[in-house]
Each structure stands twice: as structure tokens, then as C-alpha cells.
């Protein structure tokens, strides 16, 4: 068989997790918390697992009660945007991963161009290419990783079908400002291009960084697929439940793919998440995520700063980027392997987020970890 993705190997996240297991290194590589979802959510899942009748296919777009609970929460958290219609605008997917794939499969035709900001989550480029699409990469300049809109303008054309944005951004934590959304809107006005806004870290915005979804920009909302993930929001990356919010005509197309990709998502899990949302009408959990992760970020930065690491700013998300040129001239992959084998801490080399392997000497740490884990890792890294 001739591979459709001959250049794609095992994802860097799986590679570094395997290296952590082999070496006994603390895994700050793959992005997942080392703590469990809230107790009430675990109890809800156990309750629904024991409920007869909750074990067959859920409705294709997702359980109505979960979609209604999401619509209500989004309406509370984004009061300046019209509430999404749960019947026609919200689709529950098997993680944001499935939503990404379903959107790309729904809108990208062979030869269509898709604008991708790099560093980019590893799935974006290969998933575009599997649809016959052509990624047009635009580099985000370090250390702030904010888009240079003049550079973006140079790759947008009549061939642009989709622009993919990710805010807060993995791996840098950069957050789109209202001015960024305006710049994107200006660039796309008068074109038929659509926007995929990957907002899986939507609640993890720190300090005074702006908290704005593509949905809150009136013009962009009409052309945007907005993605979120309960994996990030409820510390449940293994549950693989996410969702896509988009205007009815766009949601119809996502559902056309979703019904043949997974058809529906695990039923008891959806019930448990609906319980959690219904039981929290003030969104205390979602609103608590920013202070919770900001405290972890600050703890980790304080611990690492005393070790001489050059830390990049982290306005959002749960990753810390660091420059290691004071320690080593090695490539980021070689340095990451050295850290796992010799220092006992696994990280991700940032070159893995570039299609051409661009390496500016950065590694990524995940700080979604217990305080004791962060302390132990920092002690090894000093």
C-alpha cells in the first residue's frame, strides 16, 4: 500500500509518553492532567453507567439535554452573542479531534487552501492533506506568537477555503485579542472563506488577557466553526467528548460527516456531563479554571526561574515554553531526549509543531499537574 501520509510518524505526544514510560521520567510532555475529574462528575458517570436504558446509541448530533446545557452555559458566558440553538447549532463529537476532522472533511475540496498558523497542533496539516487540501502555513513570531496580519494577508486568496485559528494556543498559550479578530474579519470580508476556531482551552485565560470567542465577533460568527473539549474543561481527556458550535447551514455539513464518522458519542458520558452542567448554573467550575491553572503556572514558573530557564510568557492554556540555549546548543529533539533520559523529565520539542521542523530551541512543559509533580520535576530540572 502506498501511504497517503508517508512523512507522518507516531505523534510526538505518544513518542514522548513512551519515552517517559521507558525511562521513568516525569511526563510533562503529553498534555493531560495527573488529577481526576471532579468527584460529582465521576459519581454522575457511575450513576448513569448503572442506569438501564443509557447504553444504546445517543441521537446522532448528541443528547438533547447535553446540547441544551451547553447552549445555556455558552449564553451565560458569552452574553454579548446570541445563544446557540441546541437543535441546529451544536454537535457533540468524540473530542475536539473528531470535530476538527469532521469540519475539514465537510468543507475542504481537493486543491482548496487552508491557512494554518505555526506552531500548530500536529493533527491540522495531515488532516487537511487527507482531504486533498493544501495547507498554507504562516509562522507566529516568538516570544509572543501573535499573528502578523500582513503575513497572513499574503497567503489569503480566492483559493482560501478555511482559516484555522487556535486560541488560547497550543503550544504557546497566545490568546487572540479583539484586534486580532477584527484583523481576521477584515481579511475575509468579501470572500467565501470559513473559520475553524479551536477553542479547547477557552476557560484557561490568565491575568488580563482577553477572553473572546470567534462567536463573539458578529461578522465572524456567521462563518465560524467553534470547537471546545470537555477533556480540557473537566480534566477528562480520556473521555473524548467535545463539541462544535456553528450556524445551522455549517452545522448541517458537520453533521453529514459526523453521522458517518462516529455517528454518535458515548451515551452515559454525555448524561454525566449534562448533569455536571445542569448542577452548576453559575458556572463555578468553568470560571474556577483560570485561577486554578494560573496558580499552577505561577508555581511552575517560580520553580523553574530559580533553575535558570528562560521562560516565555503564558497568557493562556496549560503549557509553558522555555528556551534552553543557556544549557545546550542541541536540537530541540535531542535536548528533549536528553532531559527524559538524563534528568528524568519528559517534554515536547516545539519543532514537532512545524511542518518543516523549524527549530528555535524551545521545549514545551505541561503544567496541568499536581503541585507535588511540578515540584519534583523542577527539582530534577534545576
> Which residue has the closest beta carbon to ligand PMP?
95
DSSP bridge partners of 245: 90, 226
**Angstrom distance (rounded) from CA 20 to CA 158:** 45
DSSP bridge partners of 225: 196
Among 28, 193, 200, 274, binds ligand PMP (CB under 6 A): 200
280 SS3 class: coil
Alpha carbon distances (Å) from 8 to 140, 177, 208, 237: 23, 33, 38, 23
> Are residues 29 and 346 in contact, defined by beta-carbon separation less than 8 angstroms?
yes
95 touches ligand PMP by CB under 6 A:
yes
Number of residues this chain uses to bind ligand PMP (CB under 6 A): 13
- State the first-to-last Cα distance of the chain, in angstroms, to the nearest integer: 48
- How many helices (H) and strands (E) in the chain? 14, 13
> Are residues 351 and 359 in contact, defined by beta-carbon separation less than 8 angstroms?
yes
**Binding mask 121-140 vs ligand PMP (x if CB under 6 A, - otherwise)?**
x-------------------
33 touches ligand GLN by CB under 6 A:
no
**Angstrom distance (rounded) from CA 349 to CA 364:** 6
**Angstrom distance (rounded) from CA 125 to CA 114:** 9
DSSP characters over 218-242: HHHHTTEEEEEEHHHHTT-GGG--E
Among 27, 31, 133, 257, binds ligand GLN (CB under 6 A): 31
Residue 31 CB, nearest approach to ligand GLN (Å): 3
Among 11, 88, 294, 299, binds ligand GLN (CB under 6 A): 11
Number of residues this chain uses to bind ligand GLN (CB under 6 A): 5
Residue 122 CB, nearest approach to ligand GLN (Å): 7
289 touches ligand PMP by CB under 6 A:
no
Other beta carbons less than 10 A from residue 191's beta carbon: 14
13 touches ligand GLN by CB under 6 A:
yes
Among 78, 167, 224, 229, binds ligand PMP (CB under 6 A): 229
> Are residues 10 and 29 in contact, defined by beta-carbon separation less than 8 angstroms?
no
**Angstrom distance (rounded) from CA 150 to CA 179:** 14
Prior bond of 305 cis (ω within 30°): no
30 touches ligand GLN by CB under 6 A:
yes
> Applying CB under 6 A, which part among 76-84, 89-97, 186-194, 260-268 lies near ligand PMP?
89-97
Among 231, 316, 349, 361, binds ligand PMP (CB under 6 A): 231
> Applying CB under 6 A, which part among 37-45, 90-98, 277-285, 301-309 lies near ligand PMP?
90-98
**Angstrom distance (rounded) from CA 94 to CA 259:** 12
Among 237, 259, 294, 299, binds ligand PMP (CB under 6 A): 237
> Are residues 174 and 206 in contact, defined by beta-carbon separation less than 8 angstroms?
no
74 touches ligand PMP by CB under 6 A:
no
> Applying CB under 6 A, which part among 43-51, 91-99, 109-117, 251-259 lies near ligand PMP?
91-99
166 binds, among ligand GLN, ligand PMP, none (CB under 5 to 8 A by kind): ligand PMP
**Binding mask 153-192 vs ligand GLN (x if CB under 6 A, - otherwise)?**
-----------------x----------------------
Question: How far is C-alpha 100 from the geometric centre of its chain's CA atoms?
Answer: 10
Prior bond of 27 cis (ω within 30°): no
Among 125, 147, 242, 268, binds ligand PMP (CB under 6 A): 242
260 SS3 class: helix
**Binding mask 149-188 vs ligand PMP (x if CB under 6 A, - otherwise)?**
-----------------x---x------------------
Which spans of this chain sit near ligand GLN (rule: CB under 6 A)?
A: 11, 13, 30-31, 170
Which spans of this chain sit near ligand PMP (rule: CB under 6 A)?
A: 31, 95-97, 121, 166, 170, 198, 200, 229, 231, 237, 242
Amino acid at each position: 500500500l502506498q501511504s497517503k501520509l508517508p512523512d507522518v510518524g507516531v505523534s510526538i505526544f505518544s513518542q514522548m509518553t513512551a519515552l517517559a514510560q521507558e525511562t521513568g521520567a516525569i511526563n510533562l510532555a503529553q498534555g493531560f492532567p495527573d488529577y481526576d475529574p471532579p468527584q460529582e462528575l465521576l459519581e454522575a458517570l457511575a450513576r448513569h453507567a448503572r442506569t438501564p436504558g443509557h447504553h444504546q446509541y445517543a441521537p446522532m448530533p448528541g443528547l438533547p439535554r447535553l446540547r441544551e446545557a451547553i447552549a445555556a452555559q455558552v449564553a451565560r458566558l458569552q452574553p454579548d452573542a446570541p445563544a446557540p440553538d441546541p437543535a441546529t447549532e451544536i454537535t457533540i463529537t468524540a473530542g475536539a479531534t473528531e470535530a476538527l476532522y469532521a469540519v475539514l472533511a465537510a468543507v475542504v475540496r481537493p486543491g482548496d487552501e487552508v491557512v494554518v498558523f505555526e506552531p500548530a497542533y500536529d493533527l491540522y496539516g495531515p488532516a487537511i492533506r487527507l482531504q486533498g487540501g493544501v495547507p498554507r502555513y504562516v509562522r507566529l513570531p516568538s516570544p509572543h506568537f501573535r499573528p502578523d496580519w500582513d503575513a497572513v494577508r499574503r497567503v489569503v486568496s480566492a483559493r482560501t477555503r478555511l482559516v484555522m485559528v487556535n486560541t488560547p494556543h497550543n503550544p504557546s498559550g497566545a490568546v487572540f485579542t479583539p484586534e486580532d479578530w477584527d484583523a481576521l474579519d477584515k481579511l475575509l470580508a468579501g470572500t467565501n472563506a470559513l473559520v475553524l476556531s479551536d477553542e479547547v482551552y477557552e476557560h484557561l485565560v490568565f491575568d488580563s488577557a482577553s477572553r473572546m470567542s470567534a462567536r463573539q465577533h458578529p461578522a465572524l460568527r456567521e462563518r465560524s466553526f467553534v470547537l471546545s473539549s470537555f477533556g480540557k474543561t473537566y480534566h477528562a481527556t480520556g473521555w473524548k467528548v467535545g463539541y462544535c458550535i456553528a450556524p445551522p447551514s455549517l452545522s448541517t455539513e458537520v453533521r453529514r460527516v459526523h453521522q458517518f464518522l462516529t455517528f454518535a458519542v458515548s451515551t452515559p458520558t454525555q448524561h454525566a456531563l449534562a448533569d455536571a452542567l445542569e448542577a452548576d448554573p453559575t458556572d463555578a467550575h468553568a470560571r474556577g479554571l483560570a485561577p486554578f491553572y494560573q496558580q499552577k503556572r505561577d508555581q511552575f514558573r517560580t520553580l523553574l526561574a530559580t533553575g535558570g530557564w528562560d521562560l516565555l510568557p503564558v497568557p493562556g492554556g496549560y503549557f509553558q515554553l522555555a528556551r534552553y540555549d543557556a544549557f545546550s546548543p542541541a536540537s530541540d529533539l535531542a535536548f528533549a531526549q536528553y532531559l527524559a533520559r538524563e534528568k528524568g523529565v519528559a517534554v515536547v520539542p516545539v519543532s514537532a509543531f512545524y511542518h518543516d521542523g523549524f527549530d528555535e530551541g524551545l521545549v514545551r512543559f505541561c503544567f496541568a499537574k499536581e503541585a507535588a509533580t511540578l515540584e519534583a520535576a523542577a527539582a530534577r530540572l534545576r
